[in-house]
Amino acid sequence: PRRKIVRGFSRGEETLLAKVRSGDEKVRTHLREMLVMPEMIGKTIEIYNGKEFTKVEFQPESVFHYLGEFALTRKRVSHGSAGIGATRGSKYVPLK
């Protein structure tokens, strides 16, 4: 068993589990270090990523992972092409 389960949950984590068990339709949490428990499978929980709440629906494969793993805090960057004058070669490219 996971060490966290053996040591017990905090008051906030117990409250979150109670909300999930009660069948509340909308469950929101900041507890990114909480484990995904078997009773969360099939439920949708909104997890805070530092800016907004991300909706996550849990599958059986996600049991005993952390909630924070499913709400990414950083956005993937895809850089575009360089602007005009940004490189030495683009100095000679006509604008029109």
Number of compact structural domains in the chain: 1
Q: HEC states along the chain?
A: CCHHHHHCCCHHHHHHHHHHHHCCCCEEECCCCCECCHHHCCCEEEEECCCCEEEEECCHHHCCCEHHHHCCCCCCCCCCCCCCCCCCHHHHCCCC
pTM, rounded to two decimals:
0.79
Specify the CATH number for the domain of residue 54.
3.30.860.10
In a domain, 82, yes or no: no
CA distances (Å), 82 to each of 1, 16, 34, 60, 92, in order? 52, 47, 42, 44, 14
In a domain, 28, yes or no: yes
pLDDT digits (tens, 9 = 90+) for 36-76: 999 999 999 999 999 999 999 999 999 999 999 999 999 99
In a domain, 64, yes or no: yes
